[in-house]
Amino acid sequence: MSKPPPPANSRARFFIVFMLFFASTVNYADRAILGQVKGDISNDLLLNPVWMGYLITAWGWSYVAAQIPCGWLLDRFGSKRVYGVAIFAWSLFVFLMGFTGFLRGHSAFVALFALLFLAGFALAPTFPGNGRFVAAWFPAGERGTASAIFNSSQYFCLVLFGPFVGWLTGHFGWRYVFWTMGALGICLTPLWFRFMHAPRNHPHVSEAELQHIERGGGLVNMDMGGRSGAQLSVKWSHVRQLLGSRMLVGVYLGQFCITVLTYFFIQTFPDFLQYRGMSVVKAGFAVALPALCGCIGGVLGGRFSDLLLKRGHSITFARKLPIVLGMLIACSMIVCNYVPAGANGVVVALMCVVFFGKGFGALGWTVVSDTSPKEITGLSGGLFNTVGNTAALTGIIIGYFVKWTGGYTAALMFFDASALGAIFCYLFIVGEIKRLELKPNPPTPVSTS
């Protein structure tokens, strides 16, 4: 019996972005675990603050190194397969991290560092893959909202899992956090392969929805280039073209500055609250409200950008204005340096404002979807994430700041400078926002001798 045709008014693309949001939430939650339980790990495994600083950044090094290769894999084999294998792999490594609790000292450090390093490779395809899915499934006028939804996962992970991780740690110990989160990702893998498809392969997308996406600039044929899904052979000359674009270089550098703030939220914020006197359980609950504000700010920023576009403003204005406004709001973080000890409610309230602003201005993935050459969106997203996530070194930098100064005053000044750096990049380097056209490779000269 043949399947009924999809309804003429199908909205398959909205379920796609929901799946991206949920997978990214698990992805960010698995990155944030160590920051939330690092005090317990440090005490249990006998690791000093500098060692913990290196552990917190261990996955970031491999994550950065894997971005360009993963972008190539996404362009070569398609988003669905590469992304799905990545979910299973990183979840398995997270699950195994729980067993490092049976070790101590140097052995524990080496084992945990190795697993975090491997997890970084597996985590790498997620956001370039998100960018490819959004570029394929959404017209330009909806892309800001769609990208903002999956990008808000970096805050929602703390809303959904922050209190849970704090409770689980307080009642059962930090090892159960890794076991539980790893098992969750492993269970997510078959659902991913069951429900995620390219636009033209989706069983529930209508021709009307496909035409709506394609008319608005969606790359519906992105993963239809043959069995592998590849459209061309990606070469190093393509990387040179990306790095030769002042616009894209500005976008990449701006993402580095914005990602410094991301690492504050997922690595440092819970520890900052504990430094101010909160227990790990209370800190786990306290991060939820600012994180929710970040989530709301992220969706509103993307929606605001799309509304500006629909009202006739240029894509340059529609993308840059929310970024600049959001980063200016995020600069209010510096006020926390002047809040007296014990007034943690004021700190949490200020961080609600900061999280909202950072979320509102985090449109980097939207801009990448708008600007990347259509043949190599995965590669461009990978390069974008490579530059952005060199900010993983933030954990080490903050570790030394805290060691040298005994507090977080210098650290918060560093985060404010990063927000101002993002504004500078978008106002003075990026210029006009438009899709870069990939130049064909010149033919190889043939010798006539």
What whole-number distance in Å separates Cα of residue 380 and Cα of residue 319?
Answer: 18
Is residue 86 within 8 Å of residue 24, measured between CB atoms?
no
Tell me, what's the pLDDT at 310? 87
User: Rounded to an integer, what is the distance from CA 178 to the centroid of its chain?
Assistant: 20
For residue 107, the model assigns a pLDDT of 85
394: pLDDT strictly greater than 80: no
Does pLDDT of 343 surpass 80?
yes
- Which of 11-25, 96-110, 312-326, 356-370 ranks highest by mean pLDDT? 312-326
| pLDDT of 91 higher than 90 | yes
**What 8-state DSSP symbol labels residue 408?**
S
Question: Token pair of 281, please?
Answer: 């359980």
Cβ 186 vs Cβ 300: under 8 Å? no
pLDDT at 227 over 50: no
Helix, strand or coil, per DSSP, at residue 212: helix
Name which residue leads in pLDDT, 343 or 328: 328
78: confidence class by pLDDT, cuts 50, 70, 90: confident
Alpha helices (H) in 196-245, listed in sequence order: 207-215, 236-243
Between 228 and 96, the higher pLDDT residue:
96
CATH code for the structural domain at 12-198+236-428:
1.20.1250.20
| Whole-prediction pTM | 0.71
Q: Which of 61-70, 176-185, 250-259 has the lowest mean pLDDT?
A: 61-70
Nearest CA among 359, 386, 410, 447 for reference residue 152: 359
Encode burial over 306-339: b for 16+ CB neighbours within 10 A, e otherwise. bebbeeeeebbebbbbbbebbbebbbbbbebeee
- Specify whether the CB–CB gap between 371 and 251 falls below 8 A: yes
330/328 Cα distance (integer angstroms): 5
Tokens of 429: 């380097």
Task: pLDDT band for 103, please (50, 70, 90 cuts).
Answer: confident
What's the pLDDT score for residue 4? 54
Note the pLDDT of residue 441. 60
**Residue 228 scores a pLDDT above 50:** no
Q: Stretch 92-118: mean pLDDT, rounded?
A: 88
Q: Per-residue DSSP letters for 2-66?
A: PPPPPPTT--HHHHHHHHHHHHHHHHHHHHHHHHHHHHHHHHHHT--HHHHHHHHHHHHHHHHHH
Alpha carbons within 13 A on the beta-carbon side of 219 = 25
Q: Residue 234: what pLDDT?
A: 58
Mean pLDDT (the chain, rounded): 83
Q: Is residue 446's pLDDT more than 60?
A: no
| Residue environment code for 15-27, b if the CB has 16+ CB neighbours within 10 A, otherwise e | bbbebbbbbbbbb
Q: pLDDT above 90 covers what percent of the chain?
A: 29
Q: What is the pLDDT of residue 226?
A: 43
- In order, the DSSP letters of 350-386 are HHHHHHHHHHHH--HHHHHHHHS-GGGHHHHHHHHHH
Phi, psi (degrees; rounded to nearest 5) at 406:
75, 10
Distance CA 85, CA 240 (A): 29
Nearest to 138 by CA among 243, 24, 13: 13
Phi-psi region for residue 405, left (φ > 0), alpha (ψ -120 to 50) or beta? alpha
The pLDDT tens digits for 7-40 are 556 788 889 989 999 999 999 888 878 877 877 8
Radius of gyration of the chain (CA): 22
Give, as one character, the DSSP assignment of residue 321: H
Tell me if 242 sits within 8 A of 377, measured CB to CB.
Answer: no
> What type of residue sits at position 97?
M
Q: Where are the domains positioned within the chain?
A: 12-198+236-428
Cβ neighbours, 10 Å, residue 382: 28
pLDDT computed for residue 224 by the predictor: 59
Residue 306 pLDDT exceeds 80: yes
327 and 259 in contact (C-beta within 8 Å)? Answer: no
